[in-house]
Amino acid sequence: MILMASKKKDVVVKNLSYIYPDDTPALHDVCFEISKGETVALVGQNGAGKSTLLLHLNGVIENENGCITIAGIALNKKNVRDIRKKVGVVFQDPDDQLFMSTVFDDVAFGPINMGFSEEKVKKRVHIALQKVGLAGFEERCPHHLSFGEKKRISVATVLSMKPDILLLDEPTSNLDPGGRRRIIETLKTLKSTKIIASHDIEMLLEICDKAILMDKGRVVGTGKAEDILTNVELLNSHGLEEPTVITLLGDDAVFMIRNNFDSHGIKKHREKIKKATSEAEEKKILSHV
């Protein structure tokens, strides 16, 4: 028992299948486990079922067969409201996520529904906006914001609910490089368990610990992010393409991406490898002698 408790499972999905009302099969026998605090990449080409899976985890789509366990509690009709407090979803299109007329109202929407006092709501909003680097945007209207700002506000609307588990659907799609970088840096600072659905493999490599590869509603690969996301053959066979850096640099690429191409860090990294290999060679020679 003690051994099992040492690695707490935050999300457990077993045998989850789903067919949309119009007979489109979306998920087929999906199984995986995620531990507390992990950042997990959910990769797959368009239509692989990533969004559908995320909607299940938040209980927006009711699971008809299969079993979803969130923080040790099996998700069902009765506890779906409580689960939603624990699991926050950031949807792909910020215009869907931001439905109120001011940024404040939007970020406050979740906390108000959770029944907090006015003071606590204000505090939550303030902290959430600070975390995404947009403090002072409270009174702005969403339709006067840039796409990148809207995207970060979307993240804030969920952060204000302080979810244990954060689900993000394509957080970097349609963003310019600057906006993409800001979102990535924001995500890096968040400590909760995260599931990030995307096909931006470079971004996933930079921030994720684990990866789940999906294709046509099935899970076709799980493992460490750097193993799955650099497996060129695996990616290609499921309609995905590895980032160009991997083609060019091979193993070094993972390190470079993880460190956001920080040239100083890379130099150090190379020296370390050189030293390690030369030491290993020395040892080899010595053992021969």
Partner 1 sequence: MTHFDIDKYAYLKSPFHSFDPRAKIICFLFLIFSIVLLNDIKVLVIALISTIILTFLSKIPLLFILKRFKWVALFIFAVLIVLPFTVPGKTVLSFGFLYVYQEGILLACLISLKAFSVMLLIFPMLSTMKFVTFIKTLEHFKLPKKLVQMISFVYRYVFVVSNEFQRALRSVSSRNVGKKSRILHLHVLSNVIGMTLVRSYERGERIRTAMLSRGYNGDMKTLHSFKMTKKDAIKCSLIIIWSLSLHVIVLTKILDVYDTYGI
What residue ranges bind partner 1 (CB under 8 A)? Answer: 55, 58, 60, 81, 84-85, 88-89, 91, 93, 95-97, 99-102, 104-105, 108-110, 112-114, 118, 121-122, 139, 141-144, 157-158, 161
Number of Cβ within a 10 Å radius of residue 164: 16
State residue 209 phi and psi, 5-degree precision.
-90, -45
CB of 120: closest distance to partner 1 in angstroms? 11
| Alpha carbons 197 and 47: distance in angstroms, whole number | 12
Closer to ligand ADP by Cβ: residue 48 or 253: 48
C-beta of residue 46 within 8 angstroms of C-beta of residue 215: no
User: Which residues, 186 to 245, sit near ligand ADP by CB under 6 A?
Assistant: none
User: Which one of ligand ADP, Mg ion, partner 1, none interacts with residue 79, CB within 5 to 8 A by kind?
Assistant: none
Beta-ladder partners of 14: 67
Site size with ligand ADP, rule: CB under 6 A? 12
Task: Between 173 and 244, name the residue whose CB sits nearer to ligand ADP.
Answer: 173
- How far is C-alpha 268 from the geometric centre of its chain's CA atoms? 29
With CB under 5 A as the contact rule, the residue among 27, 43, 51, 165 that binds Mg ion is 51
Q: Which one of 19-27, 65-73, 253-261, 267-275 is the stretch in contact with ligand ADP (CB under 6 A)?
A: 19-27
Report the partner that residue 163 touches, choosing among ligand ADP, Mg ion, partner 1, none (CB closer than 5 to 8 A by kind). Answer: none
Rounded distance between C-alpha atoms, residue 92 and residue 46, angstroms: 13
**Residue 130's closest CA among 151, 159, 102?**
159
Q: Counting contacts by CB under 6 A, is residue 48 touching ligand ADP?
A: yes
Task: Give dist(CA 74, CA 7) in Å, integer.
Answer: 18
Find the shortest distance in angstroms from Cβ 21 to ligand ADP.
Answer: 7
Quick one: what does residue 65 bind among ligand ADP, partner 1, Mg ion, none, with the CB cut-off 5 to 8 Å set by partner type? none
Q: Which residues contact 260 (CB under 8 A, 6 or more apart)?
A: 206
Q: Min. distance of Cβ 27 from partner 1 in angstroms?
A: 17
CB burial of 90-128 (b: ≥16 within 10 Å; e: otherwise) equals bbbebeebbeeeebbbbbbbbbbebebeeeebeebbbeb
Residues that bind ligand ADP (CB under 6 A): 20, 22, 24, 26, 44, 46-52
Residues that bind Mg ion (CB under 5 A): 51
